[in-house]
Amino acid sequence: MRSSAALLLVVVLAVAPHLLPLAQCDGPNPEIHNTGGLSRQGFPAGFVFGTAASAYQVEGMARLGGRGPSIWDAFAAIPGTIAGNGTADVTVDEYHRYKEDVGIMKDMGFDAYRFSISWSRIFPDGTGKVNQEGVDYYNRLIDYMLQQGITPYVNLYHYDLPLALHQQYLGWLSPKIVGAFADYAEFCFKVFGDRVKNWFTFNEPRVIAALGYDNGLHAPGRCSKCPAGGDSRTEPYIVTHNIILSHSAAVQRYREKYQPHQKGRIGILLDFVWYEPHSNSNADQGAAQRARDFHIGWFLDPITNGRYPSSMLKIVGNRLPGFSTNESRMVKGSIDYVGINQYTSYYMKDPGAWNLTPVSYQDDWHVGFVYERNGVPIGPRANSDWLYIVPWGMNKAVTYVKERYGNPTMILSENAFSTNKDTNDQCL
Q: List, in order, residues 6 or more apart from 97 with CB less than 8 Å away.
A: none
Question: How far is residue 64's CA from residue 286's CA, in Å, rounded to a whole number?
Answer: 51
The rounded Cα 225 to chain-centroid distance in angstroms is 25
Answer yes or no: are the C-beta atoms of 55 and 72 closer than 8 Å: no
Distance between terminal CA atoms of the chain? 24
Q: List, in order, residues 6 or more apart from 212 with CB less than 8 Å away.
A: 159, 218, 219, 220, 221, 222, 239
Helix (H) or strand (E) holding 291: helix 282-292
Answer yes or no: are the C-beta atoms of 414 and 341 closer than 8 Å: yes
235 is catalytic: no
Answer yes or no: are the C-beta atoms of 351 and 368 closer than 8 Å: yes
Strand intervals (E) in 21-158: 50-52, 112-116, 151-155
Q: Is 114 helix (H, G, I), strand (E, B) or coil?
A: strand
Question: How far is residue 91's CA from residue 387's CA, in Å, rounded to a whole number?
Answer: 24
Task: Catalytic residue, from 94, 204, 235, 276: name it.
Answer: 204
Task: Catalytic residue, from 59, 276, 327, 414: name it.
Answer: 414
Question: How far is residue 39's CA from residue 258's CA, in Å, rounded to a whole number?
Answer: 38
Q: In Å, how far are 19, 96, 101, 165 from 93, measured between CA atoms?
A: 19, 6, 10, 26
Answer yes or no: are the C-beta atoms of 273 and 204 closer than 8 Å: no
Q: In Å, how far are 194, 247, 256, 257, 288 from 262, measured between CA atoms?
A: 6, 19, 11, 9, 41
Q: List, in order, residues 6 or more apart from 238 with CB less than 8 Å away.
A: 172, 173, 321
Answer yes or no: are the C-beta atoms of 369 and 288 closer than 8 Å: no
Four-residue CA torsion sign, 313, 317, 319, 323: positive
100 is catalytic: no
Q: Any idea which residues carry the catalytic annotation? A: 204, 414
